Amino acid sequence: MRSLFRIIDVNINRLTEGLRVTEEVVRFEICDKQLLTTIRKIHNRLTRKLKDYRFSVIPFRRSETDLGRSDKFDKLRRQNLTDVLFANLKRSQEAARVLEEVTKINDQKFSAFFKRTRFSLYDLEKKLVLKIYGRE
């Protein structure tokens, strides 16, 4: 179970961090109030749902010895804020998928919640693509 809780902890962080970066780019670069509201609703829903759960997995965190901590796993260069936006949105989608799968082991309600979150992020991605690139 220790590994399961570590996976959950890491991916909760990944999901919420990716959403925060997405929110900032939409707020300051895209400047779309409706999209910003959508992101904030997703983020607030996550924050409320994970409030207590998050604290139950933090004691299993081992960030000082995490094999994924090395900088060699990071992409060090992005071309522009659009790259930053979509990289972080994709990061959040992938984290939601991991959480959806691993919480099937211990909490099916959370699994369904993460599935809904993932699909909300897919819908958001489509809206962002249409806003930025203007095509279906």
Does pTM surpass 0.85?
yes
Give the count of domains, the chain. Answer: 1
CATH of the domain at 38: 1.20.1260
65: in domain? no
What b/e readout covers 17-43, taking b as 16+ CB neighbours within 10 angstroms?
Answer: ebbebbbbbbeeebebeebbebbeebb
- Percentage helix, strand, coil for the chain under 3-state DSSP, each rounded to 5: 85, 0, 15
Instruction: For the chain, 136 residues long, give each residue's pLDDT as a single digit of tens.
Output: 788 888 888 899 899 999 999 999 999 999 999 999 999 999 999 999 988 777 676 566 656 666 565 665 566 678 899 999 999 999 999 999 999 999 999 888 899 999 999 999 999 999 999 999 986 5
69: in domain? no
31: in domain? yes
18: in domain? yes
What is the domain extent for residue 86? Answer: 2-60+77-133
